[in-house]
Structure 1
C-alpha cells in the first residue's frame, strides 16, 4: 500500500518496499536537494530518459533549472523525490511533480521521471498515484502531462492510472489528462 503522506508535505516521508528487496523513501523535494537532483539527472537517467522527461537533449541541469526544481512552494508547485540508500549515501531514483497553471490553479501539469535502474519495478506508478492523491487534496481538478508519443511506457502508465489522451497541438506529443474528484485539505488543528 502507498503511504498517503498526510501530514504537512515538507515534513513527511514514507518508506516504500518493492518485491525485489529494494526500498525507497519518498519525501518532499527540499531546497537543499539541488545536488541530489542534479546528480539524478546527470547520472541516473540515460540520454533517452532525460529526453523523455525534459523533451530536450540536456545532459545536466543548469543551476537555474536545478533551483527551479528544488525551490518548491508546496501550493502551486508540489514535488516528491524517491531516494534510496546506496553505499551509505542517499541517491535520488525518482521524482514526480505538478505545477499549477498560472491563472488556473484548479489545473496542473505533471512530470515524472524514474532512474533507468529502477524502471519496471512499479516506482513510477506509485509516484503517479501519490501525486494524484496530493493534487486532489490540494484542490486540483484536472491533472495533465504532455508526453512524447514515442514514450509508450509513460503513455501506458498514465492510461493505467485513469489518464486519457487528448488532442495536442505539437504532433510529437500526446496530452494525457485526468479529471480529479477533489477532497480538500483538512483544516489545521
Structure 2
C-alpha cells in the first residue's frame, strides 16, 4: 500500500493521504475522502447497488436517488463524519464511513458497502482498514456496526477485524458488532 499527501484545498480530510493498493486480482485501488463534488459518483454507485425502489425504502434510502441528494449523502465534515471512497480508475466501487456517536464523542458507527462485482477482491478490507486507522487517529476509541443477521459476509469481515457480535435487543434481524479502535485499549 502506498500513500501520498493531499492538499487541504482538494478534500475534506487534508490529513488523510490518498491511499493506493493492489486488489487481489491486480487492479489498482485508490482510497480517498469523498465530498459533495463526488455526488454524481455516489448516486451512480447507490443506484447500481439498490436499483429497486422498494429495497431503497427498506434500507432507509430515498425511494428514488438523484444528484440533488448528494449534499445529504456526502454531508461529512472530515472529523465527526467521514466518508471514504474506493475507486478503480474513475469508478466508485466501495464506500466506508463513520459517524461519531455517544455523549463522550469517542464512539462511532461505521458502515462499509462494496459493489458486488468487487466482493472477494480485498476492496472491503482495504476500506475498513483505512477507516479504522482514521477513526483511531481522530481519538475515537470504540467502533460499532449494525448489520443484518443474515449478512454472513459482513460478519466474517468484521470478525476478521476484531469486532465481537451481539444481538440487538428487540430486533432479531440485526446484529451489533463492537470493538475498540485500538484492540489494546
- Do Structure 1 and Structure 2 share a fold, with TM-score over 0.5? yes
Contact 2:30 2:88 in 1 (8 A): yes
Aligned pair 1:78/2:79, yes or no? no
Q: Aligned partners of 1:30 and 1:57: how far apart in 2?
A: 19
Q: Which residue of 2 aligns with 1:93?
A: 93
- Structure 1 stretch 18-27 or stretch 62-71: which is displaced more? 62-71
Deviation at 1:58, TM superposition (A): 5.8
Q: Which residue of 2 aligns with 1:173?
A: 174
Structure 2, unmatched stretches of 5+, are none
Q: Aligned partners of 2:113 and 2:129: how far apart in 1?
A: 14
Deviation at 1:71, TM superposition (A): 2.4
1:139-158 equivalent positions in 2, closer than 5 A:
139-158=139-158
RMSD over aligned Cα, in angstroms? 2.9
- Structure 1 stretch 57-66 or stretch 117-126: which is displaced more? 57-66
Q: Which residue of 1 aligns with 2:32?
A: 27
Q: Aligned partners of 2:164 and 2:7: how far apart in 1?
A: 30
Contact 1:4 1:133 in 2 (8 A): no
Q: Aligned partners of 2:26 and 2:182: how far apart in 1?
A: 34
2:106 is paired with a residue whose SS is strand
TM-score when normalising by structure 1: 0.80
1:140 is paired with a residue whose SS is coil
Q: Which residue of 1 aligns with 2:42?
A: 37
Count of residue pairs the alignment pairs up: 175
Cα 1:4/1:156, change in 2 over 3 Å: farther
Contact 1:96 1:128 in 2 (8 A): yes
